[in-house]
Amino acid sequence: MTALEITGLSVEFDGFHALTDVDLTVQPNELRFLIGPNGAGKTTMIDCITGLTRPTSGEVRFEGRPITGKKEHQLVKLGIGRSFQTPTVFEKLTVLDNLDLAESFRRSLPSMLLTRRKGISEAVGTTLERIGLTSVAHRLAGELAHGQKQWLEIGMLLVQKPRLLLLDEPVAGMSPQERLETGALLHELVADHTVVVIEHDMAFLRRFAHTVTVLHEGKVLSAGSVEEVQADPVVREVYLGRSRDERSGAVIVPQAVVPAADLARKAEPVEVTESMVTEGERVRTP
Ligand X SMILES: Nc1ncnc2c1ncn2[C@@H]1O[C@H](COP(=O)(O)OP(=O)(O)O)[C@@H](O)[C@H]1O
**Among residues 5, 9, 22, 43, which is the contact residue for ligand X, using CB under 6 A?**
43
CA distance readout (Å), 139 to 104, 134, 148, 185: 20, 10, 11, 21
For 199-248, the DSSP string reads ---HHHHHHH-SEEEEEETTEEEEEEEHHHHHH-HHHHHHHHH--EETTT
The CB-of-120 to ligand X minimum distance in angstroms stands at 36
Strands laid side by side in the 65-66 sheet = 16-26, 4-13, 57-62, 65-66
* Minimum gap (Å) between residue 43 Cβ and Mg ion: 3
Rounded to 10°, the helix 95-104/122-130 angle is: 130
- Which span (35-43, 122-130, 236-244, 261-269) binds Mg ion, by CB under 5 A? 35-43
Residue with smaller CB distance to ligand X, 158 or 196: 196
Window of 36-44, 116-124, 187-195, 277-285 that interacts with ligand X by CB under 6 A = 36-44
Q: Please, what is the minimum distance in Å from the beta carbon of residue 255 to ligand X?
A: 21
Determine if 39 is a binding residue for ligand X (CB under 6 A): yes
Q: Tell which positions 9-28 bind ligand X, by CB under 6 A.
A: 13, 16, 18
Give the C-alpha separation, 155 to 149, whole Å. Answer: 10
Segment interacting with Mg ion (CB under 5 A) among 37-45, 68-76, 129-137, 254-262: 37-45
Residue 91 CB, shortest distance to ligand X, in Å, is 25
Is residue 83 helix, strand or coil?
strand
Nearer to ligand X, 41 or 147 (CB): 41
Select the residue interacting with ligand X from 38, 68, 243, 248 (CB under 6 A): 38
The distance of closest approach from Cβ of residue 95 to ligand X in the complex, given in angstroms and rounded to an integer, is: 28
Q: How far is the CB of 193 from ligand X (least distance, A)?
A: 22
Residues that bind Mg ion (CB under 5 A): 42-43
Which chain residues interact with ligand X by CB under 6 A? 13, 16, 18, 36, 38-44
